[in-house]
């Protein structure tokens, strides 16, 4: 903003524009701006969406990185710049929801916590509308939300990476490939926790990779849910684990456990563990600690290092 526009005609500082509040400022140099004092102060006292506007990244707490201002618990955060950048979280914060539409965004939490409080919509949406293509990376702290959606609508691509001390928690469902395409990668000590269902391929195409010491916990899980879906999951490498206390259902797609990767599912005597249906495949040379009920196909990939199923194995059909 030019220097002569920092104050209005009565000397009050011009702040941030809020589209929902009518512009009442007097034009200066042909530019109409808000009068300032009764508009947003840039510190989260405004309704609606807070949009990140610095394509080179930077400090989350810097007001000039946002329009109309730094988001608070009543705001939806929008990342939609078509570039790659890192946002450094300056302190623990709470917002209403996060929508990532375009670009390659890394949120470095720097040991802080990021809470998403809204429950009427997904806490985190990566790739919402047709044509969206977005990658969102979380590292260095805890991101907590009500639910997660990756590739929400047909034609949307959404990708989530959790790494380097990143811990993402969803109170309800997390879906990769809702109707579009969605991927989740958990690597280098990253952790994903879904306190309810985790679906890889709901009505669209979904995939998940747990590698290099990544860890996932979900109450239950589906790989390939609806008839239009396809899901693929890879758990690979020493220390890479997926814990599913109730059941893991492989409906349409594949589950691959390799190179000392480990899946644990079910509770002995209460929940049977892994269900493999007609259009599902399990392959690899890792370990599955679960009872396995197989309507589909099991493919050990290395005769010298067989797939180990530590539990009851029931072949059906």
Q: Tokens 């599913």 identify what position?
A: 244
The pLDDT value given to residue 23 = 59
The Cα–Cα gap between 174 and 152 comes to 11
- The DSSP bridge partners found for residue 168 are 143, 192
The Cα–Cα gap between 111 and 95 comes to 17
3-state secondary structure 135-149: EEEEECCEEEECCEE
Q: Are 152 and 179 in contact (CB under 8 A)?
A: yes
- Interacting residues of 230 by C-beta distance below 8 A, sequence separation 6+: 177, 201, 205, 206, 224, 252, 253
The pLDDT value given to residue 122 = 81
Q: Are 235 and 264 in contact (CB under 8 A)?
A: no
User: pTM, whole model, 2 decimals?
Assistant: 0.87
The Cα–Cα gap between 280 and 42 comes to 51
Q: State the DSSP code for 220.
A: E
The pLDDT value given to residue 305 = 86
The Cα–Cα gap between 225 and 313 comes to 23
Six-digit token string for 308: 């180990």
CA distances from 187 to 79, 124, 139, 232, 286 (A): 23, 19, 10, 16, 17
Taking phi over 0 as left and psi of -120 to 50 as alpha, with beta for the rest, 295 belongs to: alpha
Asked whether the bond before 266 is cis by omega within 30 degrees of 0, the reply is: no
The pLDDT value given to residue 3 = 41
Task: Kindly list the domain boundaries of the chain, sorted by start residue.
Answer: 1-39, 49-315
Low pLDDT (below 70) residues in the chain? 1-45, 120, 269, 317
The pLDDT value given to residue 131 = 97
The Cα–Cα gap between 272 and 311 comes to 9
Q: Are 223 and 200 in contact (CB under 8 A)?
A: yes
| Sign of the torsion formed by the C-alpha atoms of 107, 216, 250 and 304 | positive
The Cα–Cα gap between 196 and 245 comes to 11
Burial class (CB in 10 A: 0-12, 13-18, 19+), 239: middle
The string of pLDDT tens digits covering residues 190-216 is 999 999 999 999 999 999 999 999 999
The pLDDT value given to residue 148 = 96
SS3 (DSSP) at 8: coil
- Interacting residues of 148 by C-beta distance below 8 A, sequence separation 6+: 122, 123, 124, 125, 126, 160, 168, 170, 173, 174, 175, 194
């Amino acid at each position: 903003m030019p220097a002569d526009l920092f104050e209005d005609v009565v000397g009050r500082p011009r702040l941030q524009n809020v589209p929902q509040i009518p512009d009442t400022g007097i034009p200066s140099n042909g530019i109409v701006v808000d009068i300032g004092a009764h508009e947003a102060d840039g510190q989260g006292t405004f309704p609606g969406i807070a949009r990140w506007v610095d394509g080179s990244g930077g400090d989350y707490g810097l007001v000039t990185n946002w329009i109309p201002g730094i988001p608070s618990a009543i705001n939806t955060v929008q990342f939609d710049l078509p570039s790659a950048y890192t946002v450094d979280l300056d302190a623990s914060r709470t917002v209403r929801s996060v929508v990532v539409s375009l670009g390659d965004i890394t949120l470095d939490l720097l040991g802080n916590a990021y809470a998403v409080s809204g429950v009427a919509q997904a806490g985190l949406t990566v790739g919402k509308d047709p044509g969206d293509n977005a990658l969102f990376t979380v590292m260095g702290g805890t991101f907590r939300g009500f639910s997660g959606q990756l590739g929400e609508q047909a034609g949307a691509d959404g990708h989530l990476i959790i790494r380097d001390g990143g811990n993402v928690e969803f109170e309800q469902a997390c879906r990769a490939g809702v109707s579009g395409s969605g991927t989740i990668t958990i690597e280098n000590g990253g952790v994903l926790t879904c306190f309810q269902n985790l679906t890889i391929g709901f009505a669209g195409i979904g995939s998940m990779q747990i590698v290099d010491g990544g860890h996932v916990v979900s109450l239950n899980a589906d790989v390939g849910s609806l008839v239009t879906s396809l899901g693929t999951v890879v758990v690979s490498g020493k220390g890479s684990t997926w814990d599913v206390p109730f059941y893991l259902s492989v409906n349409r797609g594949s589950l691959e456990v390799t190179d000392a990767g480990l899946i644990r599912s079910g509770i002995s005597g209460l929940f049977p563990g892994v269900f493999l249906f007609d259009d599902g495949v399990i392959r690899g040379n890792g370990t599955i600690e679960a009872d396995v009920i197989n309507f589909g196909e099991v493919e050990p990939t290395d005769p010298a290092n067989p797939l180990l199923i530590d539990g009851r194995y029931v072949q059906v059909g």
